Structure 1
Amino acid sequence: MIDFVIGVGSVLAALLLAAQMRERGRADLLWSRLWFALALLTFLGFVLARSFADIAGFWAALIYTTALVALYPVQYLHVRAVTGAPARVLWPHVLPPLSNVVLIAGLHAMSGARMDVGLLAVDSPQWSWINALTMIVIAILAAYPALSLRRLLNARRAIAFRQGNTAAKRFDWLIAWCVATFLSVIGGWASDLGSQFGFITIDAVAWVTFGTLAVQLLLVGFFVTGTSMAFSPMPETRRTDADIDFERLTAHFQEARPYLQSGLSAERLAESLDWTLPRLTQAIRSGGAGHFNDYLNRWRVEQVIDDIQSGADSPVLELALDAGFGSKSSFNEAFKRHTGLTPTEFRRRSGTSG
């Protein structure tokens, strides 16, 4: 059955790589192309490792395990490129696959190392420290999808605030992909640990390793075919005075929370900032909001959402009035436009009552 998983994964990786290669002019696809190529190399290398023994088997294991380890930093580099902050220093991300090469070379020199269903195993107790080192390396690799998730969630929140939830949905497939990657690291760590203590077979380790990679390819394939601009980076624009003003305005709202004032007008806010009204309007439009009330109500809705998710048991209308809304109708309209749900539906899905 593991051969079926390997076959499906190889086909998916090849198809997605071919689809990426058709977009020849898009430089932002560099890291995703490399990821698909490494995934394909991982599956094909495992097939060779299962087919050969001795030195040939070890060489095949060196190829596919190094490709597998390289998937994590390459995915992180792709996420950085997509979120508009490409990495400028690459050499630290070469260390994980390089460490794997050193580790496999050490295993090859060990008399207790052997091939089992395409995987390397260590039988000699005197080399048990190799198993411990492997577990540490796997745990460190979990930092890559964790950092990717943090960056993606921040980018999604920023886009949702500026352009709405529809525009932010482009990040959902990436988030799902990175969640699957993180779970694959945890699964690999647990299965490897279980095999060392005899709880599961080494064949089960292969299932976890390549099964989770096949799931990632399925996720990527589904979202790439169903999400417009799935691989497109965030547009890089030159910072203007209005962009700088928007950042200052956002900081002011975070610190002073003027949106809590019921009846706050654009004129009053501009006066408190010592700005002209046109300057305030340009700053708000720079952030993606159409007009002052839209920007103001987004902050108020976010305040209500935070109150609901923190477990506040007050009625929703009371939370809305505390957040600065002047009426139930204006609150319901703004909440629905911002979240796509009514306040009651949102609270029910959040698992709170009231």
Structure 2
Amino acid sequence: MSQIQIVILAIGGIQGFLLFTLLFSDKRVNYASKLLGIQCLFIATTFVLPLIVEAENSLFTWLIGFLVFLPACYGGLTYLYCRTAITGLPLKRIDILHFLPLAICYLINYDILFPAEKALEFVRLPDNALLIKMITKMIIFGQIIIYTALSIKMVHFYQIKAKQTLSSYNPDIFKWLWCLIIFIVSFWALSIFFNFISRIHSINTLSYILLVLMVYFIAFVQLRNPSLFHVKQLKQELAQSSSTDINQSSDGLLDQEMRSNLLSLIQKQVKEQALYRNSELTLSNLANQVGVSVHHLSETLNQQGGKNFNLFINEYRVADVCQQLEQKSDRNLIDLALEAGFSSKSSFNATFKKLTGKTPSVYRQQIT
């Protein structure tokens, strides 16, 4: 093992244990952050394991049998972290099934868990020397591939759901999540290349560096902002949509004339009553105020209006801000944005530029 690898492993291990302590001891952090703390602890052990193996007969050699299989739960932990971070939903008893790959690895390798000598011998053997080691390796990388696919599908689903049901959410949340997934895919792609294609040690070193940057950077940022990935109101809307889906068949489909009339009614009420100025307006809230079902409202906006709920409401908000600017209002942009119904500066800037092609400050300059 090179000196560079030893330094990277030592830094990764120390940072992981430190972040685990901080995330668990800080009372400000939420449920998802504590789950991330557990992942930081497990990843820290992944960095420490090669150092223990290198040291051979040390005080920590007996831990090898327990630590070597922990990567079998990384996919499940990442999936659960993303889910709880986005929705705020707590873990359920059934979520213990996500740790089944780890349990299987322990069961099929039970004979090396306690004798330190056997565990050390197991780790040092080539992967193709034992059938059980090859099976274990396939379980570890197999669950990573499956959970990465599930995480991508889940984030995409929540992003679509947010657009369909929420008038205000920070789009940067999903940018963060997609960046996290890109890091995950990059790390495991390098790891798979090293383990199954070509054992180039520089590739393995690069994968460890990516792992440090990915998890520990997210953890540091989340310490500063515990609700980094949380999409407010999404939990309630998911529950609402579940009950709507059950009764959807009884709602039936609207014909084009009914959708056209309903869209005109929705547009009239949203504009005349300035419903868009409510930053917490959701699809179900608007459906109650207009007096239609959530399903019919969503169907009308998407099929007749040609846009999702988030875009439909934010067009009114941007138009409101533009009108104020054209009237030569000298108020701060953020004040105009909050009054129009935007919940944050970041969501206002992103939405305004998306709809007008210009930043709010540039738009103001061009009309003065």
If the length of structure 1 is used for normalisation, what is the TM-score?
0.61
Deviations, residues 25-45 of structure 1 (Å, cap 9, x unaligned): 744433222112212222233
Q: Paired residue for 2:55?
A: 51
Aligned residue pairs: how many? 298
Deviations, residues 38-80 of structure 1 (Å, cap 9, x unaligned): 12222233321221159965x4433332333222212212222
Retained in 1: the 8 A contact 2:159–2:174? yes
Distance change (3 Å), C-alpha of 1:239 and 1:192? closer
Distance change (3 Å), C-alpha of 1:242 and 1:177? closer
Is residue 2:337 matched to residue 1:341?
A: no
- In 2, Cα distance between equivalents of 1:248 and 1:227: 38
Distance change (3 Å), C-alpha of 1:60 and 1:343? same
Unaligned 5+ segments in structure 2 are: 291-297, 309-314, 324-348, 359-368
2:354 partner SS: coil
Is residue 2:149 matched to residue 1:146?
A: yes
2:123 partner SS: strand
The 5-angstrom pairing of residues 66-215 of structure 1 reads: 66-84=69-87, 85=89, 86-102=91-107, 104-105=109-110, 120-123=123-126, 127=130, 130-131=133-134, 134-163=137-166, 167-194=170-197, 199-201=198-200, 203-204=201-202, 206-207=204-205, 210-215=208-213
Question: What's the offset of the Cα at 1:265?
Answer: 0.8
Superposition CA RMSD, Å: 5.3
Deviations, residues 318-349 of structure 1 (Å, cap 9, x unaligned): xxxxxxx9xxx99x99xx9847335779xxxx
Question: What's the offset of the Cα at 1:167?
Answer: 1.8
- Tell me which of 4, 8, 11 is aligned to 2:7: 4
Retained in 2: the 8 A contact 1:66–1:101? yes
Q: Paired residue for 1:64?
A: 67
The 5-angstrom pairing of residues 152-301 of structure 1 reads: 152-163=155-166, 167-194=170-197, 199-201=198-200, 203-204=201-202, 206-207=204-205, 210-221=208-219, 223-224=221-222, 229-230=227-228, 232=230, 234-235=232-233, 236-237=235-236, 264-266=263-265, 285-287=281-283, 300=305
Retained in 1: the 8 A contact 2:17–2:44? yes
Retained in 2: the 8 A contact 1:145–1:179? no
- In 2, Cα distance between equivalents of 1:205 and 1:88: 38
**After the TM superposition, which of the residue ranges 181-190 and 125-134 deviates more from structure 2?**
125-134
**After the TM superposition, which of the residue ranges 204-213 and 89-98 deviates more from structure 2?**
204-213
Distance change (3 Å), C-alpha of 1:10 and 1:123? closer
**After the TM superposition, which of the residue ranges 170-179 and 99-108 deviates more from structure 2?**
99-108
- In 1, Cα distance between equivalents of 2:209 and 2:266: 59
Unaligned 5+ segments in structure 1 are: 271-276, 304-324, 346-354
- In 2, Cα distance between equivalents of 1:165 and 1:267: 18
Is residue 2:34 matched to residue 1:30?
A: yes
1:83 partner SS: helix
Q: Paired residue for 2:339?
A: none
Question: What's the offset of the Cα at 1:138?
Answer: 0.8
Question: What's the offset of the Cα at 1:260?
Answer: 9.2
Retained in 2: the 8 A contact 1:45–1:64? yes
1:89 partner SS: helix
2:70 partner SS: helix
Distance change (3 Å), C-alpha of 1:67 and 1:170? same
If the length of structure 2 is used for normalisation, what is the TM-score?
0.59
Percent of residue pairs identical = 9
Deviations, residues 145-174 of structure 1 (Å, cap 9, x unaligned): 221222122212322444457523224323
Question: What's the offset of the Cα at 1:220?
Answer: 0.9
Q: Higher relative contact order by CA 8 Å / sep ≥ 6: 1 or 2? A: 2
- In 1, Cα distance between equivalents of 2:34 and 2:189: 27
Letter in 2 for 1:40: A
- In 1, Cα distance between equivalents of 2:147 and 2:22: 25
Distance change (3 Å), C-alpha of 1:9 and 1:125? closer
- In 1, Cα distance between equivalents of 2:350 and 2:260: 21
- In 2, Cα distance between equivalents of 1:340 and 1:259: 33
Q: Paired residue for 1:21?
A: 24
Q: Paired residue for 1:348?
A: none
